[in-house]
Amino acid sequence: MLSAANYANSDIPQRAVNGSGASGLRPFLADATQRRLAPREHAFYEGDEGSHIYRIERGIMTLYRLLPDGRRQIICFKFPGDLIGFEAREQRTCGAEAVTEAELRCLPMHIASQRLRQDASVGVEVVELLAAELADARNQLAVLNRRSAMEKLAAFIVDLWRREAPRQGACLALHISRSDMADFLGLTVETISRSLTKLKLKRIIALPEAHRLVILDMGRLEGLSTGEALD
Amino acid sequence: MLSAANYANSDIPQRAVNGSGASGLRPFLADATQRRLAPREHAFYEGDEGSHIYRIERGIMTLYRLLPDGRRQIICFKFPGDLIGFEAREQRTCGAEAVTEAELRCLPMHIASQRLRQDASVGVEVVELLAAELADARNQLAVLNRRSAMEKLAAFIVDLWRREAPRQGACLALHISRSDMADFLGLTVETISRSLTKLKLKRIIALPEAHRLVILDMGRLEGLSTGEALD
DNA sequence: CGTATAGTTGACCTAATTCAAAAGACGTGG
DNA sequence: CCACGTCTTTTGAATTAGGTCAACTATACG
């Protein structure tokens, strides 16, 4: 839901090369040049012509679209192992910004599409990748529409948790700011903050610090994410 | 935005085989068996295993997901020439329902995926198809979130118009019910109805009958769809 | 440390939902 | 063709979730 491929860890892991992602492109990615991004730096902007595809080696990125009124809609968060920039044909349909410091491998698009034209197995891979992204986007669509702020937020946390769970008990490192959450869930920072506070008061989560979140009652949280009432 | 490929006409045309869609699968689709659906009949349900892919020959279909509270989110509308059912891997991530009477060509999935594994050009095609769907879904995501009812509705009408425009002046046959619009835009039927009435009063559209819509002022309508105020 | 940025909290307001009910379309069968 | 019941659409009144504006606090960073 946050992104297509599942990822590991919380301190933005050096995750082993994506299992489901890129076997046929893997050798090419291995050779690809590397690029480092500071937080808020962009890999590319909406409207750019797509010159490369990227694999995230380290850090968290967002794909986002700008709305006519200047606000942005975050489409998804991407984590180490994920590929981004594949959707581009002529123009990029969304921008890609680093949330944390990040490291990317950059594979020139023409190499990728050449491989795609030559080798059917690459096609199979990429189709799977895109199908997963599509399922993801559609899921997000279903979550955003017609759900309460609390449901959205609960679903978001549960989802984050699922990605980070293998690691360290019930404690999540929140690398994502309130404002990024808001732009992802289609809410305001105030609403995010208020909802977090409510969850805290109900002892469903704890926030030892602003960017560290502990899940106290996963059952309730999952309940909330599927429409149960809070009170 | 309503769907990936653009389509023609309004009385649900027998449109010539999709240009951008399926050249490498075309011969297979041509041989494929046909299936007719009555309105509200399903091609497949969410959770089904994906046995076929379909090309719409006639009629309008929706892809939708069911929400935990029983409501549904319409993901997109699909028109003649469009392919559906490709996103499925193990399980279908959304259901496909006929809005109007519809006719489909059904290509068994195993044939399609066999072709995909054998022929790189099929991969290229399908990747393009999926990339378009993805762009579409993401666009929809951006429209639904954080936009007013009026903006959503205006954008919807403009989009419908773009698909049907080539045909008959400013008059659209609305095969889509208020309730389907609502489920697509994430609004209630009441809000849809009220917004349509407002547009009518402002002489931006006319509704000679409930399912026939005339655009009187496309400029205003487009303005509304990109955030201009109504008054 | 001091300044800027991010997060929280409160009061108020508005757009859209909900509930309720009327009016209009549509098909069925007499 | 008309009467009838059903379903869709429209309209109205009341409610509310979330947005906006504004002030305050906490955190990060040079």
Distance CA(A35)–CA(A61), nearest Å, equals 13
Residue A5 vs residues A9, A77, A171: alpha-carbon distances, Å: 13, 11, 22
> Which DSSP letter does residue A80 get?
T
pLDDT in tens, A174-200: 899 999 999 999 999 999 999 999 999
Q: Is there contact between B162 and strand D, defined as CB under 7 Å from any strand atom?
A: no
| A116/C18 CA-to-C1' distance in Å | 52
Residues of B with CB under 8 A from a CB of A: 63, 65, 67-69, 71, 73, 75, 86-89, 93-94, 116-124, 126-128, 130-131, 133-135, 137-142, 144-147, 186, 226-227
Distance CA(A143)–CA(B113), nearest Å, equals 30
Confidence band for A154, pLDDT divided at 50, 70 and 90: very high
Q: Helix axis angle, B109-118 relative to A120-144, nearest 10°?
A: 130
Distance CA(A81)–CA(A78), nearest Å, equals 9
pLDDT in tens, A98-107: 999 999 999 9
Mean pLDDT of B4-15: 38
Element (H, E) at B84: strand B83-84
Mean pLDDT of B55-63: 94
Residue B211 vs residues A81, A229, B41, B171: alpha-carbon distances, Å: 49, 38, 21, 10
Closest nucleotide (C1' vs CA) to A191 is D18
Element (H, E) at A33: strand A33-37
Q: Is there contact between A177 and strand C, defined as CB under 7 Å from any strand atom?
A: yes
Confidence band for A28, pLDDT divided at 50, 70 and 90: confident
Residue B10: predicted pLDDT: 35
Enumerate the residues of chain A whose CB falls inside 8 A of the CB of residue B134.
87, 130, 133-134, 137
Residue A100 burial (10 A CB sphere; 0-12, 13-18, 19+): middle
pLDDT in tens, B189-231: 999 999 999 999 999 999 998 889 999 999 999 999 988 887 7
Distance CA(A207)–CA(A7), nearest Å, equals 23
Closest nucleotide (C1' vs CA) to A147 is D17
Mutate to test the interface with B, among A141, A151, A152, A156 (most CBs of B within 10 A): A141
CB–CB of A145 and B93 under 8 A? no
pLDDT in tens, A54-72: 999 999 999 999 988 888 9
By C-alpha distance, which of B220, B179, B178 is closest to B199? B220
For residues A60 and A173, the answer to whether their CB atoms sit within 8 Å is: no
Distance CA(A54)–CA(A43), nearest Å, equals 9
Enumerate the residues of chain B whose CB falls inside 8 A of the CB of residue A126.
123, 127
Tokens 């819509």, located at residue: B213
Structure pTM?
0.88
Is pLDDT above 50 for B30? yes
Q: Is there contact between A209 and strand D, defined as CB under 7 Å from any strand atom?
A: yes
Enumerate the residues of chain B whose CB falls inside 8 A of the CB of residue A117.
120-121, 124
> What's chain B's Rg over C-alpha atoms?
18
Q: Which residue has the higher pLDDT, B90 or B190?
A: B190
Confidence band for A165, pLDDT divided at 50, 70 and 90: low
Q: What is the dihedral of CA A141, A79, B132, B161, to 10 degrees?
A: 30
Q: Which residue has the higher pLDDT, A30 or B131?
A: B131
Give buried/exposed letters for A30-64 (b at 16+ CB in 10 A, else e).
eebeeeebeeeeebbebeeebebbbbbbbbbbbbb
Q: Which candidate from A65, A135, A227 shows the least CB-CB separation from B87?
A: A135
Tell me if residue B14 falls in helix, strand or coil: coil
